[in-house]
Amino acid sequence: MKNTDSTSMTSSHANYAWIHEVLEPDQLASTKPLFGRRKLGATTLALLWILRLYVLLMIFLIGYQVWSAFHAKF
Amino acid sequence: MRLFWVLLGPGILVMLGENDGPSMISYATTGASYGIGFFLPFILLTFAMAYVVQEMTVRLGAVTKKGHAELINERFGKFWGWFAMGDLVFGNLLTLVTEFIAIRAGLGFFHVPAAVSVLGAFLLIVAAVATQRYWTWERIVLSFAIFNLIFIPVAVMAHPVASDVVKAFFTWGPLPGGVNAAFMLLIMSNIGATVTPWMLFFQQSAVVDKGLTPKDITHGRVDTALGALLAAVAASATLLATVPLFTHHVDASNFQGADFAKALIPHVGNIGASLFALGLFEAGIVAALTISLSSAYAFGEVSGRSASINSPMKENIPFYAFLFAAAGIAALLVLIPNAPLVFITLIVNVIAVLAMPPAIVFLLLLVNDKEIMGQHANRILGNVFGIGVTIFLILAGLAYGILTIFPHLLTTS
């Protein structure tokens, strides 16, 4: 039993080694770069909030259209 | 060529995946309401816009090796990361509901009970993901996605007048009825059928999951362009397939998926109508497979867990649970008796367009960030197109909003 486990472990390691050989260095998950936080400027923040309000307003309008369509139908 | 076959995937999947249930119903409604004219070249324009946006996600994924939600989270903080994911998950849930509606409608044409078709589709999603290999999952979805082209023979059976098609591309007309609220709804619906937030999140994450590197960007571009072309052909074919309904003055304004197939029987025969219904099923299942994964990718990335279907299910339970829950909730909603399914189908594409400008702003911020993109950052032309698409989407949304409140303000018929 022990031998079987040891064989499968070795085979598993061998598989990993093969994969490491085939992959290019920049394809390994361990090479995933870490990017720092970027501070958003006042203009960008304002734009993001305006667009957020735009989406909320438009969703309200869609709700109104659905409500109108529903009442027109029934 | 062999390398291209290996790299083929995310671009084609995302473009054909976006030719989903509500999109095909939208193109069908357009063909039945306006015939051959303005909307035929307009559909090509929307796919050109989709290419401009999606190409940026290929570069972002290949260079940073991070999914879209993960990158927003890391670069701009958790607040905007969770906001972006919230928008996506909400939009995706609504869209998933409509995919199950399309599956139900498509198979309903063949008298398959609703519960059987919806449950079967859900089990297919589970089975595809249970392979726990991105490559296998991708090949399964690609094999379904290619059937998106099933609408082409239906279009041929509808015998479109070639001279009308050529004329439409040169004149962008005719436009019967002029500009009104119904026209704007279809404009929004057609844009929402090609350019949506889930596509950004999905393609970038899929590029990462597949392991593409900066050297593969050219292949990624070809994959995306080919996907846009195939999807544009399938979309135009769907429009052309329903033109006989316009010619014979059939009112299709309240049609659901299966109604189109039934109404087309006198014009394209039983085989054509069956192909149309099968196409709706295909559109729904491909999108359900890709959109449920897109939600799970975003959840995994923002919550700091592994966001990959290459990860073993036992070690990444929250990721898989989120995916199954998203698909399961959507499937259950479709089965609720008397649920307002028609309304949901109508508004889903519109909501997608409205949610797009904030998503593109984040995309442009990231793709212009030289610190993370280096030499692959956007150039002037890329920004001109990107900002152009954003402004166009905002203006279309505003015009839609104005015409919703003041239906006669911009009428030019």
Q: What percentage of residues in chain B have a pLDDT greater than 70?
A: 92
pLDDT 10s digits, B167-226: 998 988 778 777 777 788 788 888 888 888 889 988 998 898 888 889 999 999 999 999
pLDDT interval class at B25 (50, 70, 90): confident
- Provide Rg for chain A, Cα atoms: 28
Q: Mean of the pLDDT values across residues B1-20? A: 76
Q: What is residue A28's predicted lDDT score, i.e. its pLDDT? A: 57
Give the pLDDT score at B356. 83
Asked whether the predicted pLDDT for residue A17 surpasses 80, the reply is no
pLDDT at A25 over 60: no
In this model, does residue B404 exceed pLDDT 80?
no
Give the tens place of pLDDT for each residue, B139-151. Answer: 888 888 888 889 9
Chain B CB contacts of A47 under 8 Å are 361
User: Cβ B404–A65 below 8 Å, yes or no?
Assistant: yes
Q: Which amino acid is at B49?
A: M
| Mean pLDDT taken over chain B | 86
Is the model's pLDDT at A9 over the cut of 70?
no
Closest to B317 in 3D by CA, of B94, B95, B129: B129
Domain count, chain A: 1
At B342, the pLDDT band (50, 70, 90 cuts) reads: low
Chain B residues bordering chain A (beta-carbon distance below 8 Å):
64-66, 71, 74-77, 80, 83, 87, 211, 213-214, 340, 343, 346-347, 350-351, 354-355, 357-358, 361, 365, 369, 371-372, 394, 397, 400-401, 404-405
Mind giving me the DSSP string for B69-121?
HHHHHHHH-HHHHHHHHHHHHHHHHHHHHHHHHHHHHHHHTTT--HHHHHHHH
Structure tokens given for B203: 């393609």
Q: Quick one: pLDDT at residue B150?
A: 92
**ipTM confidence:** 0.72
A55/B83 CB distance under 8 A: no
Q: What is the pLDDT of residue A29?
A: 54
Residues of A with CB under 8 A from a CB of B: 23-24, 26-27, 31-35, 37-38, 40, 44, 47-48, 51-52, 54-55, 57-59, 61-62, 64-66, 69-70
* DSSP, residue by residue, B200-235: HHHHHHHHHHHT--GGGHHHHHHHHHHHHHHHHHHH
Determine if the pTM surpasses 0.90. no
Contacts of A34 in chain B (CB under 8 A): 74
**How high is the pLDDT of residue B155?**
94
Q: Is the peptide bond before B174 cis (omega within 30 degrees of 0)?
A: yes
Contact A58 B401 (CB under 8 A): yes
Tell if the CB–CB gap between A55 and B76 is shorter than 8 Å.
Answer: no
In the CATH scheme, what is the homologous superfamily, with its name and number, of domain B2-405? Amino acid/polyamine transporter I (1.20.1740.10)
Chain A residues lying within 8 Å of B401, measured CB to CB:
57-58, 61
Selected for mutation to probe chain A from B189, B353, B404 (highest A CB count within 10 Å) is B404
Q: How confident is the model at residue B340 (pLDDT cuts 50, 70, 90)?
A: low
Per-residue pLDDT at A8 exceeds 70: no
CB B244 within 8 A of CB B264: yes
The DSSP element (H or E) to which B137 belongs, if any, is: helix B134-145
Distance CA B369, CA B2 (A): 33
Pairwise CB contact (< 8 Å): A35 & B361: no
**Å between B342 CA and nearest CA of chain A:** 10
Q: Which residue of B has its CA nearest to A28?
A: B211
A66 contacts on B by Cβ (under 8 Å)? 343, 346-347
Q: Measuring CA to CA, how many Å separate B228 from each of B101, B102, B161, B164, B329?
A: 24, 22, 25, 23, 30
* Boundaries of domain holding A47: 5-70
Residue pair B46/B199 in contact (Cβ under 8 Å)? The answer is no
Q: How far is B75 from chain A (nearest CA, A)?
A: 4
Token readout for B335 is 């089965």
Neighbours of B215 (CB within 10 A): 10
pLDDT per residue over B249-304, tens digit each?
A: 888 776 765 788 889 999 999 999 999 999 999 999 988 998 898 888 888 888 87
CA–CA separation, B37 and B163 (whole Å): 11
Nearest to B13 by CA among B330, B228, B233, B236: B228
Please, are residues B243 and B36 in contact by the beta-carbon 8 Å criterion?
yes
For residues A40-61, average pLDDT: 87
Closest CA to B292 of B165, B26, B103, B105: B103
pLDDT the model gives residue B26: 86
- What pLDDT sits at residue B349? 73
Please report, for chain B, the start and end positions of each structural domain, with discontinuous segments joined by +.
2-405
Q: Which of A24, A37, A59 sits opposite B351 (nearest CB)?
A: A59
Does A74 score more than 60 pLDDT? no
Instruction: Give the pLDDT mean for B347-352.
Output: 76
Q: Which range has highest mean pLDDT (A13-17, A57-61, B108-112)?
A: B108-112
List pLDDT tens digits, range B354-388.
888 888 899 999 999 999 999 999 999 889 988 98
Most confident of A19-23, B155-159, B294-298, B331-335: B155-159
pLDDT at site B93: 86
Single-letter residue type at B148: N
List of residues 6+ apart from B38 with CB closer than 8 A: B168, B172, B173, B174, B175
Please tell me which of the candidates A31, A44, A57 has its beta carbon nearest to residue B365. Answer: A44
